[in-house]
Amino acid sequence: MGYSNQFFKALSIREEKGGNLATFAKQSGVPVKKLKYYNKNNIVPTGTDLKNIMSAANISELLLRIKMGRLDKDIIEAIQENAEAILPLIETHVPTIESPMTNCKLEFKTNLGELYRGDSYELLKSIESDSIDLIFADPPFNLAVIYPSEINDSLRTEKYIHWCQEWIKESARVLKPGGSLFLWNLPKWNAALTSYLESMLTFRHWIGVDIKYSLPIQKRLYPSHYSLLYYVKGDKPKTFHPDRLTMDVCSKCYAELKDYGGYKDKMNPTGINMTDIWTDIPPVRHRKYKRREGSNELSLKLLDRIIEMASNKGDLVFDPFGGSGTTYMAAELKGRKWIGCEIGPSDVIQERFSLINDERKILDGYRKNINSLFPEKIRVEREKRGLWTCETIRKKKKANQLDEKS
């Protein structure tokens, strides 16, 4: 979709028929195509283009940047130094949030959770400050998807970023000190949101979750990861106990796939440290597991991992964008309290809760295969083939110690 015309507006360029775009291109010596590129991406030109544009439009770089909303360090410093003088000019533009009432409607309740129907920004405004232990957000990606709620998923770039900033600001407010916020999005959007997040929270990780989500695009790298941003309120998390993962082995011969060098005997039998690249999260594509077309359902395994890492039993989890309710299901199964919100119909979520025992089996299946270097089945297969396991290493060590003693 691109930005709205901030660049053209700053230069008083009119693109429509009879406008002055072609004339400006001639005057500045910058081709129309390039001017359109600057405008679509709200990019401040540099080098010769900048010089020529400033001269043709009789505008300074400073004014151009301010008009485009692209504030660099000098402008920010100037604003800081003149804050009192500038305040009366801008305070009427900044909305104050004072709205304890919400028009979000309680749709259904479980033993641990409450699901509301409505705009999550409205719901957020009614939530008490410093009250939530963990927030996971998987907003629409602004890719013109048609959701059952019929929300506008094709906003101008700056509108989408501003919308995200609104609910992020409220999310930071309601998070408990030491609480964690996870934000799932395309790398492009998460990259644009990091500096805003950093103004309120502390960066922990950019987790790359290896899932292919489109066909290869010509003249581009093949998009193969989602970004999962992880921030905390304050300087460190109050809860952090990541699962440990099993070692990757060949599905046929059970040999390890990576070379762990001579460190076998130092490997922790409870599994490998989790890294910031996750390659084992399955996409939800199978019809049987996909609850609702267009809901962009995430894997229960992803939410299990996040909830396990950053919350304890009895903690309160909030997800502002319900979809098919994966976060709420994971929270319920794991004994966390939860608050949910979905702007569209929630029948899929309610239906999902009526089949909670099936979901429990899926979750138990995931959890059976973690926090151990080799799950039972793999250990047995490796021993059959004479490959090392934690037990064989331990036995060997003991035998060596006895030899040394005798």
Ligand X SMILES: C[S@@+](CC[C@H](N)C(=O)[O-])C[C@H]1O[C@@H](n2cnc3c(N)ncnc32)[C@H](O)[C@@H]1O
Q: How remote is the C-alpha of 158 from its chain's centroid?
A: 18
The distance of closest approach from Cβ of residue 260 to ligand X in the complex, given in angstroms and rounded to an integer, is: 34
Q: What is the CA radius of gyration of the chain?
A: 26
Examine residue 342 and tell whether it contacts ligand X (CB under 6 A).
Answer: yes
Q: Are 134 and 315 in contact (CB under 8 A)?
A: yes
Q: Which stretch binds ligand X (CB under 6 A): 1-9, 119-127, 189-197, 263-271?
A: 119-127
- Name the residue among 315, 314, 310 with its Cα closest to residue 232: 310
User: 300 near 324, Cβ under 8 Å?
Assistant: no
User: Strand 225-232 relative to strand 202-210: parallel, antiparallel, unpaired?
Assistant: antiparallel
Of 38 and 160, the one with the shorter C-beta distance to ligand X is: 160
Residue 149 binds to ligand X (criterion: CB under 6 A): yes
Enumerate the H helices of 69-142 as residue ranges.
73-81, 83-90, 120-125
CA distance 67 to 280: 45
Q: Which is nearer to ligand X, 346 or 372 (CB)?
A: 346
Q: Shortest approach of ligand X to residue 334 CB, angstroms?
A: 15
CB 209, min distance to ligand X, A: 13
Q: Report 284-323 residues binding ligand X (CB under 6 A).
A: 295-298, 320-323
Distance between CA 66 and CA 360 in Å, rounded?
53
Q: Which of 208, 223, 283, 344 binds ligand X (CB under 6 A)?
A: 344
Q: How far is the CB of 163 from ligand X (least distance, A)?
A: 8
Size of the site for ligand X (CB under 6 A): 22
**Cβ neighbours, 10 Å, residue 67:** 14
In the bound state with ligand X, the residue whose beta carbon lies nearer, of 11 and 228, is: 228
Q: Looking at beta carbons only, is 102 or 324 nearer to ligand X?
A: 324
Stretch of 116-124, 204-212, 215-223, 271-279 lying at the interface with ligand X (CB under 6 A): 116-124
Q: Binder to ligand X among 39, 185, 326, 346 (CB under 6 A)?
A: 326
DSSP state for residue 92 in the 8-state scheme? G
**Cβ(204)–Cβ(197) under 8 Å?**
no
Q: Which stretch binds ligand X (CB under 6 A): 14-22, 38-46, 47-55, 118-126?
A: 118-126
H or E element, residue 396: helix 390-405
Environment class of residue 209 by beta-carbon count within 10 Å: exposed (0-12), middle (13-18) or buried (19+)?
A: buried
Between residues 332 and 373, which has the closer beta carbon with respect to ligand X?
Answer: 332
- Minimum separation from the CB atom of position 120 to ligand X (A): 4
Does 359 contact ligand X by CB under 6 A?
Answer: no
* Cβ 326 to ligand X shortest distance, Å: 3
Contact 374, 260 (CB under 8 A): no
Q: Which of 11, 164, 306, 343 binds ligand X (CB under 6 A)?
A: 343
- What residue ranges bind ligand X (CB under 6 A)? 119-121, 138, 140, 147, 149, 151, 295-298, 320-324, 326, 341-344
